[in-house]
Structure 1
Amino acid sequence: MKKLLTLICCLLWLEAFAQPGIEEMNKARNDLAADYFSASDLSLVLATLLGLNGAVKIYHNWQMGKHHIDADIAAWFFAALFMVLAGAFLKALFGI
């Protein structure tokens, strides 16, 4: 009885190493790697659009006589910076 129990435990231990889904996980990683470059480009395009939009609004406010625009400059700058860093963060997070 002890030998049978030992044999069953050894077989269960070997079964634990045979993880199903490794191939699917590799496929998902490859799909994510392919889609990441599109997301990275999208974050750069959004950062560009945010920066241009902010520059136009700040220039318009300056020309209309509002000279206390320091908070506006910081807000638009950090919004664009966040979008640029989002791509690097995603790359580090997913290990791509």
Structure 2
Amino acid sequence: MKFFLTAWCSLLTMIAVAQPGIMDGSLAQAKQDLSLSFFSAFDFALTLALLFGLIGAFKIYQNWQMGKDRIDSAVAAWFFAAFFMILSGPFLRALFGI
């Protein structure tokens, strides 16, 4: 049964690989469109990281001035939110090969 299932999956992958390709001009146009929209999305991610950092800094400063103890979790939460947005740009750039 396992052999039959393995053979069937292998056959399906060969059929899927044998699909007709896209013409070179269309592929180049799609890559260009993706790169144009990606860089605007990358700039947007950096802008969001900046906003997360600024808002987090103001909220933490306010809590600190109000005398609240244990602001460590808020510092970590805002820091890692901004850090995630900064790292999402290079990750997406590597994922799409742009």
TM range (shorter): 0.7 to 0.9
Unaligned runs of 5+ in 2: 1-17
CA distance, structure 1, for counterparts of residue 35 and residue 44 of structure 2 = 15
Percent identity between matched residues is: 56
1:31: which partner in 2? 33
CA distance, structure 1, for counterparts of residue 51 and residue 85 of structure 2 = 10
Q: Does 1:83 align with 2:85?
A: yes
In the TM superposition, what is the alpha-carbon distance from 1:36 to its structure 2 partner? 1.4
Aligned with 1:79: secondary structure? helix
Aligned with 2:68: secondary structure? coil
2:71: which partner in 1? 69
In the TM superposition, what is the alpha-carbon distance from 1:25 to its structure 2 partner? 2.0
Cα RMSD over matched residues? Answer: 1.8
From the superposition, tell whether residues 88 and 20 of structure 1 become closer, same or farther in structure 2 (CA, over 3 Å).
Answer: closer
How many residues are paired up? Answer: 81
User: Larger Rg: 1 or 2?
Assistant: 1
Unaligned runs of 5+ in 1: 1-15
CA distance, structure 2, for counterparts of residue 21 and residue 62 of structure 1 = 60
Structure 1 runs (4+) greater than 6 angstroms displaced:
none
